[in-house]
Structure 1
Amino acid sequence: MLLHKVLLIEDDEVVRKQLAKYIQKERFDVIQAADGHTGIELFRSEKPDIVLTDMKIPGIDGMEVITTIKRLSPDTDVILFTGYGETDTAVMALREGVLDYLKKPIDLEALSMTLGRARERVVARDEHFVQPIILLVEDEELPRKRLARVLAKENWMVIEAENGEDAVRTFGLAKIDIVITDITMPVMNGLVALHKMREMNRDFEAIVFTGYGDEESAIQALRDGAINFIKKPVDIDQLLMSVEKALEKLRLDRALKYRNRELELARQIIAQVTAEQEIIINLHNSVLKQATDFAQRLLDAIPTSIMVIKRDFNIVYVNKSLSSILGGRCDKLDEHMIESMKKMGVNELTLPQLTGTMDRLYEAPGNIEIMKTGDYSSLTLTLITIVGDVRDSYVLIAVRGERSV
């Protein structure tokens, strides 16, 4: 199985080793450096897919490491560790192309999510296939071996466990996507095992096997978050369909978490360049080039889809994230644009709703409007003011769709 490579730069040896162990569990190869100089040397020689670096490290600091890495390989995703009081610096790093930042002490669930976002981007660039890992828990050896062979034929990696206690131990050592478990087993039953797994990490889906008389336990498993239960003897077609459904739900849930985080980062970037609730970009001739370059870098760096629209509904700017999804023309806010946004899962949106919301912003500059456009999709709108020969205002719209394209 292909493992993406992570470079971890952290001067605290205890923290570094603990993080390295966790990152390996998340199915990455890890190379370690204790200072910035060593980190850059390893980056040149090892060419990692993802870099994690502390802000304060010996030699050269984290920002210098980021600048060097982005110069050598602009597409490499960098995740920054920050200490207390370093949030402003972290948001500045986001504007320079850093994927995300995590506050110390590191929350492992947040680290897992951020690594997942980074892996998603690497896979999209390289068109690699990430093999799902299934933990199969069954105390009867012959049925377990038979089911493991069937699942492996679907290009899924299968790890076997013969009871609940063994399964929990294995779950703690490996990144598991799907747990398939019998309910009635010796040592520890399936429901108890699933409960202990969810205390460790909730980022997985579960399917349970039930025998005669296990119906109440199966219903309890569904209440506890299992996606399905299958009666024994196991119908192979039903099992394969259940695993496919579980993998799709897991992919969508992870994508939603990633997009929510991207939207939060976008809001932080916008907030940092906001003066008294109003975003002002100065385009006087003396600073024209610097300001326009900054504005474009800012909007392209925001890890969500962004557009800027004039009051006459002409579109003056679409950032890279949005243009890559919509394709084609993006010059006018009209019914064609509304239809194009359905590619992102923005379905519950009409042109009058959007233009009406924009009009309200011009009535109350400095406000932020959030439009719900689906179960999980939304638009966030705010007014920006551009000062040049004349002062003019535009609407900046951040788009969160229900799916990535």
Structure 2
Amino acid sequence: MVKKNRILMGTISVAVAASGLILSASAASAKDNHVNSIHGVTINANSLIKQPRNIELTVQEVELLTPNSRYLQVTFNKPVYQLERFQFKVIENNSNDVMGTEEVRLNKSQTSAVIILYKGNTLETGKPYTLSFEHNGQVQQIKFEHYNYYEDGYVTSANANNRKIKLSGVGTLNVSEDLLVDFQQMVGQRIRAWYDSSDILRRMVMTEDPVLYDGMEVGSKIKLVTSGKKYKVTADTTLYVNGKETEFSAYNGQEFPYAKLVLNEDGDAAFVYAYTWATEPIIIEKVKDNIVYGLGGEKLDISSYIILKNTKPISVSDFQVGDILYFNEDAKNVIGKRGVGEIYNRSVTGKITQIYHGDSFEVNGKVYDCIGDIFGARVLDGRKLEDFRENEAERLEGKEVTLHFSRNGDLVYVQRASRGN
């Protein structure tokens, strides 16, 4: 898949009172902002300033009519009946170069006008500008910008604490405080991004690429364990393991208990974010002060962790007794710290009806192995979790048990029905 990078028009405008007060974009509430699907973000500040009865004429909006051009459209807060070109000038903020106005055309509505700069004056993408408007001896200044636009980038990492993301093809972007985003969900996703000259992400749209979560086997193709489906790995496929980018060749033949797989338009693997877990997950007995206590006496401080359930981040209050916590204490997470985990519960209940040599047994007509590809089965013996093997299965033959499985299908815990644990 060939990545496309193209520029679309973008604009930001901020209305200012005649006194010269400049309102920042963050001052606008969400309901006062509206998004123009072509031009990026426009801030309409008409509702931000309480207008007196004798309203002073002010510019409410500045918009570039075409990319990299000399044509601007300005919108006023009330009808205007006469304008002169000397009332307007555009300043390039970085160089302080002033661009003069060749012509002003008042539109039929008389609430907007087209400003045409002199030939040779071009408003460029990614540069900040100021429109100066003089009226009745007062000067209003409006900052605006033609946003950069990137169409086909993947979010390779995200940090919710400092609100930064890394976007393939662009680099590091700071996420505007005005944007409400799920940093965990963004990782691995392909987005369309609008960003300004200060590398601040002003607007984004996630593409609707298919996203799959499962255990994963790495080979010439990626195989999802639960579904059994395989997906092609291309030269453009990116693999992250425990938060670090790596090569597929380094993990050929390996199975992962958790993977997020993003497909491209062709249905091939575009981006893979995988984790390895500690080989002994914790069966939760209680949680206190961000410390998880397990049935087998384990303790784990999760104060710096991101814990997922049903692929979404959850809080400690969402934990339940008996939940099984899979974790990696060294994996990088989206709050800039280390520690990632997943609550995953899948179980089958039935009687052990047959024991087989080689550490396997039958429940409900299906054979299960005591030792999986990643995890081994355990059973609670008093206050200790012990390995569950052929001898333990024989002692429970004919009795009802609940079998608990990892996301990649390994048996991790055999729960005795008679004792409830």
Give the TM-score taking structure 2 as reference length.
0.23
Structure with max Cα Rg:
2
Larger % of helix: which?
1
Larger % of strand: which?
2
